[in-house]
Amino acid sequence: MKAQLQMPLSLVVTLATALFLASPASLATGDPDIDPPLAPLPPPPAPPDNPITQAKADLGMMLFFDPKLTGDASLSCGDCHDPKQGWGFNDPISRGYPGAVHWRNSQTVVNTAYLSKLFWQGNAKSLEAQAPIANKGAVAGNGEDDVMEARLRQTPYYIEKFREVFGTQQPNLGDAWMAVATFERTLSQQDTPLDRYLAGDLDALSEQAVMGKQLFEGKANCIECHNGSTLTDEKYYNLGVPRPFEWEEMGLNTVTFRWENYAKGVYEKHYRNWKDDAGLYFSSKRPVDVGKHRTAPLRYLVYTAPYMHAGQFYTLEEVIDFYNEGGGENEFTDGTHGLENKTPILKPLNLSDEEKEALVVFLEEISGDEIRMKLPEVPPYGVLPNVPGLTQIRAKRIGLESYLAAAGQQ
């Protein structure tokens, strides 16, 4: 993993603007907006009140993998955003809080520093705002503020580190989210073959990938929505992605699906009839937004299968076939509920097998190297007896009795 040190936000913005102005912006077919060209990733931006420092990122890393920040202290961010699973979770639908399952696919946290709309529904506006939503959400972390904060305050390691980083006598939960966001910003990848190619190293991509890139920006029209340095315009579209079977056919998934609709304030008449993910509608409550999702960023894709908001497609080949057919249909595009919200941008592409393969190779090659790291051993509570090498997690694993026996010295 490479930690990126801070660059003033103003400089990042200036650089990005300069890049944008310097390269010819294309006007792809189907939508009159201007599509910024593909661009190398700049250093990760950070909000002025939460600058990136190494010490804060290290603390954030520990918190990211520490289950103290969930309801029953059994699950960490890292359990659903596993470095070995592309910093996401490789089931179509994410695991959930014990006893529950989630209802959407877990997204990678790699390169989220650059996004201003987080989640498939784009409903969190910053990493600082996103982290507590994750760890308090009923089917994700299910944590309670005071309990999570108390756990940090009972952990000598955190008392010391929070004092060092934030200058507080005791850890504050709000600062924990700042540290987690900072750690996530360091998971930014600026040295992929795409970045090198765009910076002028024309050998960085294979010939086939270069052909894929040309299709991406031309005949296949992906650039209309997947553009700029992150390969997303962060706008919302209903592509007609088909409904996953889980929401209707798997007991726990059905419970979560129904509950999410209810909790997000959908009218009862819709709640009883809609069987698909209303996406942006949950935030805006506007009928035109039903079933729209944020354009997904496309860096790091090879590590994050399956794809789309409920993992509807297992492979990139399936994704390309879907677009080649002009997208699909779901109950919010086919008039079932009087809605025809499919984006008019998607049209059949008539790609040859060779062209489809080139697009897949392009997406694979731009994924860059896998970001692996050794998981930290999470710090124990101060109230535990001080047995050398015995952490809270190990105590939990070997069981209370063996733990107490090991702690015999107390």
Q: Rule CB under 6 A: which residues touch ligand HEC?
A: 75, 77, 79-81, 94-97, 102, 104, 106-107, 109, 112, 115, 118-121, 127, 130-131, 134-135, 140-141, 180, 220-222, 224-226, 237, 239, 241, 293, 295-296, 298, 301, 304, 307-309, 319-320, 323, 343, 345-346, 359
**Quick one: 265 exposed, middle or buried, by C-beta within 10 A (0-12, 13-18, 19+)?**
exposed
Do residues 366 and 204 make contact, with C-beta atoms less than 8 angstroms apart?
A: no
The CA-CA-CA angle for residues 129, 66, 118, to 5°, reads 25
Cα-only R_g, the chain: 23
In angstroms, what is the minimal distance from the CB of 314 to ligand HEC? 11
Q: Of 64 and 403, which has the nearer Cβ to ligand HEC?
A: 64
In angstroms, what is the minimal distance from the CB of 123 to ligand HEC? 8
Q: 323 CB contacts (<8 Å, ≥6 apart)?
A: 220, 222, 346, 349
Q: Of 147 and 387, which has the nearer Cβ to ligand HEC?
A: 147
Q: Of 370 and 385, which has the nearer Cβ to ligand HEC?
A: 370
Cα–Cα distances (Å) from 272 to 258, 259, 262, 266, 278, in that order, read 9, 11, 10, 10, 13
d(CA 198, CA 91): 33
Q: Of 43 and 141, which has the nearer Cβ to ligand HEC?
A: 141
In angstroms, what is the minimal distance from the CB of 148 to ligand HEC? 10
In angstroms, what is the minimal distance from the CB of 87 to ligand HEC? 9
**Amino acid at site 307:** Y
**Amino acid at site 309:** H
Tokens representing residue 95 in the block: 């695991």
Do residues 300 and 367 make contact, with C-beta atoms less than 8 angstroms apart?
A: yes
Q: Of 43 and 291, which has the nearer Cβ to ligand HEC?
A: 291
Q: Of 71 and 403, which has the nearer Cβ to ligand HEC?
A: 71
Q: Of 4 and 106, which has the nearer Cβ to ligand HEC?
A: 106
Tokens representing residue 283 in the block: 């935030």
Q: 242 CB contacts (<8 Å, ≥6 apart)?
A: 312, 328, 329, 330
DSSP letters, 98-159, are: TT-B-SSPPPP-TTGGG-SSBSTT--B-SHHHHHHHHHHSTTTT---HHHHHHHHHT-HHHH
Tokens representing residue 314 in the block: 């297992």
In angstroms, what is the minimal distance from the CB of 39 to ligand HEC? 17
Q: Of 114 and 403, which has the nearer Cβ to ligand HEC?
A: 114
In angstroms, what is the minimal distance from the CB of 119 to ligand HEC? 3
Residue located via tokens 């190494």: 54
In angstroms, what is the minimal distance from the CB of 199 to ligand HEC? 22
Q: Of 191 and 364, which has the nearer Cβ to ligand HEC?
A: 364
Name the residue among 249, 148, 185, 142 with its Cα closest to residue 56: 185
Q: Where are the alpha helices (DSSP H) in 264-391?
A: 268-273, 281-284, 316-324, 353-365
In angstroms, what is the minimal distance from the CB of 293 to ligand HEC? 4
In angstroms, what is the minimal distance from the CB of 137 to ligand HEC? 8
Q: Of 305 and 395, which has the nearer Cβ to ligand HEC?
A: 305
In angstroms, what is the minimal distance from the CB of 331 to ligand HEC? 14
CB environment 92-120: b (16+ within 10 A), e (fewer):
bbbbbbeebbbbbbbbbbbbbbbbebbbb
